[in-house]
Structure 1
Amino acid sequence: MKDQQFWMKLPPFIQENWEKAKFERATSIQEKTIPLLLEGKDLIAESPTGTGKTLAYVLPLLNKINSDEKGMQAIILASSQELVMQILAEIQKWGEGSGIRAASFIGGANVKRQLEKLKKHPHIAICTPGRALELIKQKKLKMHEVKMVVLDEADQLLVAEHIESVKQIVKATLLDRQVVLFSATLTENTENLAKELVKDPEVIRVKKDETIEAAAVDHVYFQEEYRDKLKVIERIARLTDSKVLVFVKDIGNLTILHEKLTYKKLQTSMLHSDLNKMERQKAINSFRKGKTNMLLATDVAARGLDIQKITHVVHYDLASDTTQYIHRSGRTGRFGAKGTVINIVTEREERELKQFLKELSIHLSRKEFYEGKIVDFKPMKKASRRK
């Protein structure tokens, strides 16, 4: 990164933290966006999951903050509690030694406790949209000194549930603020909605990160009757040295799956929107620290979830479209690491899955279990091989 001219514009504390992190160079999205952000340009950026998007905006944002001032100077919006907390952790890590204060404000959390945070005059607020708008309307979150607004995972924010809140939050800031949107997938519709929030934006698209060694991710599938999907999940849970994230569409089915695996003496964590903040945090921490090796999650609950060294992503229920498939699958193979994406499909779902992967130009192979290991599917020997 030091051969980049923009490096010299970043304050010493960031350079020191970069050295401490032992990063050799910036990723493609960072190289393409950081100089533009340092110039103060509005930006709409797309880059795959696991390519360093958070850091791409965090470094210019920290550069923009004057730690001597009391007012709030930046607001970051994210669609889930987990993503808010992850962004806060990144800012605290990279802002170390700067005197810059950051705080999180999320829906469902104790309002009184969050108001206490505001008394400490955070320079950066990381929020879910509903809670941010609520605090703005109460005149508790003051927007008149905000220099930068960031929408992280913008495609999840520019949806019916959040878009009006997002528009009102951006509107509450002064006209000379910088608006930045990052997303793993950027549809034409999302881009058009994004352009309503920005002024003369630069649009950056990184489809594949050349600076990250190509992730050795295998995409495989098991074909089973729906009632037999549980047996495959059991076998996956027993794989040695595995860290498995399983996507289940329905909370009811997810809970039943969790109970059945627990009955089989398999320790799993579960993550869904009906859990309270403490339960969600416990589930994530147990999985992150390796107390459990499998996390069952719904798509909504897993938004923005960043857990290192996930070895397998499992689509227990088929993704609804290619965008969802990319979002889910991107949780493994991060920064060039090896990973496996497993689809458990019925005969009908198999056709749909093959169509998805054809559109994405991804090779797909059918597998089965043999003596506790995943092996290539052999139709003629199926009866004798499956154990």
Structure 2
Amino acid sequence: EEWASLRDVKVQTLIGGASVKRQIENLKLKPEVVVGTPGRMLELANQRKLKLHTVKTVVLDEADYLLQPEHMDNLREFIKKMPGQRQMAFYSATDSENLREVSRWFNTQPAIIDTADASTDQTEHGYVLADNRKRAEVLRRLGNVKGMQALVFVNSVQELDYLAEKMQFENVKVRMLHSDYGTSQRKDALEAFKKGEAVFLLTTDVSTRGIDIPDLPYVINYDLPLSQEVYQHRSGRTGRMGKEGRVLSLVNERGIRDLRKLGPRPSETTEWFIFKGQLVDERPETVPDAPQPKMKEKVKKEKGVKQDTKRTSLPEAPKKAKKKNRTRSQKNKGARRPKTEE
């Protein structure tokens, strides 16, 4: 909308979760550019509310995701409604097998242009060592690091809700963003985070694509992603357009090996430590333990040698001999065998 306004070009968004009636009314204004999700656009095209016979260009952003098998049928059905002579453009941050087979699905032979330049990547990748049960405490301490503001990725909605409650109890300002939220809730959470009203934006992988937070300093993997592709998309939320950024993963000893398989430069994965409200890349010197008072050594008693205990005590009273109340006949003198007659 910002760019199109310079040329008096009308733009409209068509996404799920928004009012269909309002979208249909806006389509009557005949926008030149429509940006939307395939599901909602196909729905309106089937209702003949979205006219596709004059389309000249179709752009597939996040093409590696849209070309996955679960989306392919709807996508192909949608594109079939367009003229045979149209321009197609596919954009993706990661390569995939589906991208290489574009000609098979859409009868077109694309020119592949790679704009990735490793020399402009200023993103650091590292980890903070933490046991699984102590990750929430480590995250709380990270929230107190000066200049901290991070997108925190969690693998499940249930874990995210628990973590949010934990951070709020510890007075760490957080917002949440996940698939159960509606469009307005997501927008409010994102805007509050961009304004600096929260230290952490807790989210699932719903935020790995398409979210642009200018100058975001940190991305934190509370849970490690399940694939290298997801790790790359998570990392892409920071260090954008050649700016500096840092990706931190909370892992235990076992998780370090998995992390190095996911990162782009395994040999450059740095361990970070939290020390006095700062992140440092060298293990802080530990304060030596205070000297413990020496315990009195026990002296072994030797036979025939009396020990000097150096303490005054009353002399022990002589022990009284135990009285034997048994009669002479009750004493056990041993069993005697009766004499047998020879």
Q: Given the two structures, how large is their TM-score scaled by the length of structure 2?
A: 0.79
| In 2: Cα distance, 1:198 partner to 1:295 partner | 42
1:228 equivalenced with 2:134 (yes/no):
yes
| In 2: Cα distance, 1:95 partner to 1:207 partner | 27
| In 2: Cα distance, 1:231 partner to 1:310 partner | 22
RMSD: 2.0
For residues 197-216 of structure 1, what are the structure 2 equivalents within 5 Å?
A: 197=106, 199-208=108-117, 214-216=120-122
1:364 equivalenced with 2:273 (yes/no):
no
| In 1: Cα distance, 2:262 partner to 2:68 partner | 23
Identity of aligned residues (%): 36
1:318 match: 224
Counterparts in 2 of 1:335 and 1:97: CA distance versus 1, 3 Å:
closer
1:172 equivalenced with 2:81 (yes/no):
yes
Structure 2 residue corresponding to 1:138, chosen from 47, 50, 58 = 47
TM-aligned CA deviation for residue 237 of structure 1 = 1.6
| In 1: Cα distance, 2:201 partner to 2:106 partner | 36
Deviations 1:192-212 (A, max 9, x none): 1465225221011233166xx
- Larger RCO (alpha carbons 8 Å, 6+ apart): 1
Structure with higher helix content = 1
Name stretches of at least 5 consecutive residues in structure 1 with no aligned partner.
Answer: 1-91
TM-aligned CA deviation for residue 356 of structure 1 = 2.7
1:290 equivalenced with 2:199 (yes/no):
no
| In 1: Cα distance, 2:246 partner to 2:20 partner | 41
| In 1: Cα distance, 2:284 partner to 2:199 partner | 31
| In 2: Cα distance, 1:354 partner to 1:380 partner | 26
Structure 1 residue corresponding to 2:233, chosen from 327, 333, 338 = 327
TM-aligned CA deviation for residue 346 of structure 1 = 2.0
| In 2: Cα distance, 1:97 partner to 1:245 partner | 33
**Higher Cα Rg: structure 1 or 2?**
2
| In 2: Cα distance, 1:377 partner to 1:194 partner | 51
Deviations 1:43-65 (A, max 9, x none): xxxxxxxxxxxxxxxxxxxxxxx
Number of residues paired by the alignment?
Answer: 289
Matched AA of 2:85: D
Contact 1:151 1:180 in 2 (8 A): yes
2:182 match: 276
Matched AA of 1:258: A
Counterparts in 2 of 1:379 and 1:236: CA distance versus 1, 3 Å:
closer
For residues 66-145 of structure 1, what are the structure 2 equivalents within 5 Å?
A: 92-145=1-54
Contact 1:332 1:339 in 2 (8 A): yes
Contact 1:249 1:299 in 2 (8 A): yes
TM-aligned CA deviation for residue 311 of structure 1 = 0.4
1:148 match: 57
Structure 2 residue corresponding to 1:348, chosen from 245, 254, 273 = 254
| In 2: Cα distance, 1:311 partner to 1:236 partner | 13
1:251 equivalenced with 2:157 (yes/no):
yes
Contact 2:103 2:110 in 1 (8 A): no
Contact 1:254 1:296 in 2 (8 A): yes
Contact 1:219 1:364 in 2 (8 A): yes
SS at match of 2:6: coil
SS at match of 1:104: strand
Deviations 1:256-306 (A, max 9, x none): 111111111111111101011111110010011211121111112442111
1:183 match: 92
Matched AA of 1:370: F
1:375 match: 280
Deviations 1:234-253 (A, max 9, x none): 12222222221111110110
Contact 2:273 2:284 in 1 (8 A): no
| 274-283 or 152-161: bigger deviation | 152-161
| In 2: Cα distance, 1:368 partner to 1:277 partner | 37
For residues 60-71 of structure 1, what are the structure 2 equivalents within 5 Å?
A: none
4+ residue runs over 6 A deviation? none
Matched AA of 1:132: M
